[in-house]
Chains A and B, each alone.
Chain A
Amino acid sequence: MAVYHTNEFRAGLKLILDGTPYAIVENEFVKPGKGQAFNRVKLRNLKTGRVIDRTFKSGESVEGADVVDQDMQYLYNDGEQWHFMEPDSFEQYAAPKSVVAEAAQWLKGQEICCVTLLDGVPLGVTPPNFVELKITRTEPGVRGDTATGGVKPATVETGAVVKVPLFVEEGEVLRIDTRNAEYVSRVKE
């Protein structure tokens, strides 16, 4: 396993701390005139997304995390595991609900997702930035209703709920930005 010296620290580098994988968000070298030098580092927990602060003595070495991001096709879920396939090798990976997390609400099948693997085990799933999903339920729009800001909730085929303009109707297909769960446009079938 690779070991990284503090002078190799840079944003994006992935490390194992206390058995948990982290990615460096920010690294600052600090040193008083005469005294120990330090690296003040902000790290994002790759499992929870939480950002922590940690101070390293310059010269310390930290174990690297064997983390890779891989494009994989989402196949199906069996209620407990979500199954993905690496399109070149056809190798399949299963990820529990806790790992798929928020991504699950955008996946109906066939989407190419980014699966983050730690030592070959899925650690997180990022859905495509844009997905196209059909509306299964929404109230008919009422012309001139501006009290709700001109939007209404719509449930799509995966169960996710997004805010849509009043003119959008049940049965239509929406283009949705998964990064902020926002409606982008209608898609003509």
Chain B
Amino acid sequence: MKSPDHHGIPSREALQARAKLYARVRDFFAARDVLEVETPILNPHTVTDPHIESIGVSHDDRGQYLHTSPEHAMKRLLVSLRCDIYQLCKVFRAGETGRFHHPEFTMLEWYRVGWNYQELMREVEQLVMHLLPGHVRLLESGAMGYREAFLRYCGLDPWTARTEDYRIACRDVGLAPSTQYSCDDYQALLLDQVIAQRLPADRLTFIYDFPVQLASLARIDSEGRAQRFELYVGNLELANGYQELTDAGELAARFEQDNKERSRAGKRPMEPDPCLVEALREGLPDCAGVALGIDRLLMLITGADRISDVLAPRG
């Protein structure tokens, strides 16, 4: 007989926890009058993000992509519906395999019309507290600016630090880079491997107001900070949210910037999604949106050590 924790097959408990989690997500949003939507997984365009690789598939003799998140399609819906929406779906990213990464994973994404990102942070906290069962005890949550986090945990100011400062900060904690890194590379490495690791355990921590080069599709405030946040539970990154960019011209400029960066890194530039630019031109309502990693949340709930422990095996 197969043991329930047979390698590669999630336990019955893990599958039950997933089913229960989906039910609780739907309860949470039903009670708040947020509409569940479904958007196409297969799309003719994909993201230009320099650090996300899409999986392409051939379909009807046309190249198409599995979505890396439902963001573009949901924003198109927001333009026509102008109401709060959420989606629970599988998303796909090439080349991401690790303890906390899998090329196919489940994302919960939602948008609140007329809200700002600070309000959405509070709702994210309420949702996570609603979803975590009693045995996962958490202290009150905290929030910290990106700049403050670097000052506190790395002793440098990400607004002014130079490559040499980052190199020394990395060396001091035993992170030996293989080649020359840019300031952006160092920031990504330090955030994930130093700051996140030093965040208080058993606690939700929001890190917000990112440098402009990490704005992605977040709005930039008058002080030059991207209105973006990330949620960590202990040291595990769980969610990523924005005050959504609504300016179509600015969006086109960001796509172009992404592709410049892709070319610099030796990656293929991706054709910008004209539907998203068009949607913003028609008028995306002011909104805040967030994406949350459901499999990681399941890891916390079930105590799984690897993301593969909460995923059913391939057929």
**Hey, which bits of chain A sit against chain B, CB under 8 A?**
7, 17, 28-38, 40, 52-60, 62
Q: Which residues of A contact B191 (CB under 8 A)?
A: 32, 35
**Residue of A32, A58, A62 contacting most chain B CB atoms (<10 Å):** A32
Report A168 CB to chain B, min CB distance, Å. 45
Interface window among B30-38, B132-140, B180-188, B281-289: B180-188
Judged by a CB distance under 8 angstroms, whether B40 is at the interface is no
**Contact call B237/A33, Cβ cutoff below 8 A:** yes
Q: Sample 13 A-B pairs with CB under 8 A, ordered by A number.
A: A29-B101, A32-B188, A32-B192, A32-B237, A33-B237, A34-B214, A35-B51, A35-B184, A36-B184, A38-B189, A53-B175, A53-B176, A57-B181
**Residue of A30, A33, A52, A57 contacting most chain B CB atoms (<10 Å):** A33
Judged by a CB distance under 8 angstroms, whether B313 is at the interface is no
Of B49, B99, B179, which one neighbours A28 at CB under 8 angstroms?
Answer: B99
- Given A40-B193, A53-B175, A55-B177, A35 and B98 touching (CB < 8 A)? no
**Contact call B178/A56, Cβ cutoff below 8 A:** yes
Q: Which residues of A contact B175 (CB under 8 A)?
A: 40, 53, 55
Judged by a CB distance under 8 angstroms, whether B1 is at the interface is no
Q: Which residues of B contact A60 (CB under 8 A)?
A: 178-179
**Residue of B100, B189, B216 contacting most chain A CB atoms (<10 Å):** B189
Instruction: Tell me if B's interface is mostly helix, strand, loop or mixed.
Output: loop
User: A63 vs B32: C-alpha distance in the bound complex, in angstroms?
Assistant: 55
User: A55 vs B170: C-alpha distance in the bound complex, in angstroms?
Assistant: 10
**Contact call A29/B97, Cβ cutoff below 8 A:** yes
Instruction: Tell me if A's interface is mostly helix, strand, loop or mixed.
Output: strand
**Contact call A54/B178, Cβ cutoff below 8 A:** yes
What 8 A-B pairs have minimum CB-CB distances, sorted nearest first? A29-B98, A35-B188, A32-B192, A33-B240, A36-B188, A56-B178, A36-B185, A32-B188
Judged by a CB distance under 8 angstroms, whether B95 is at the interface is yes
Report B249 CB to chain A, min CB distance, Å. 22
User: Nearest residue in A to B94 (C-beta to C-beta)?
Assistant: A7
**Contact call A29/B96, Cβ cutoff below 8 A:** yes
Report B54 CB to chain A, min CB distance, Å. 15
Report B92 CB to chain A, min CB distance, Å. 15
User: A80 vs B56: C-alpha distance in the bound complex, in angstroms?
Assistant: 60
**Contact call B96/A31, Cβ cutoff below 8 A:** yes
**Contact call A59/B214, Cβ cutoff below 8 A:** no
- Given A37-B96, A59-B265, A31 and B177 touching (CB < 8 A)? no
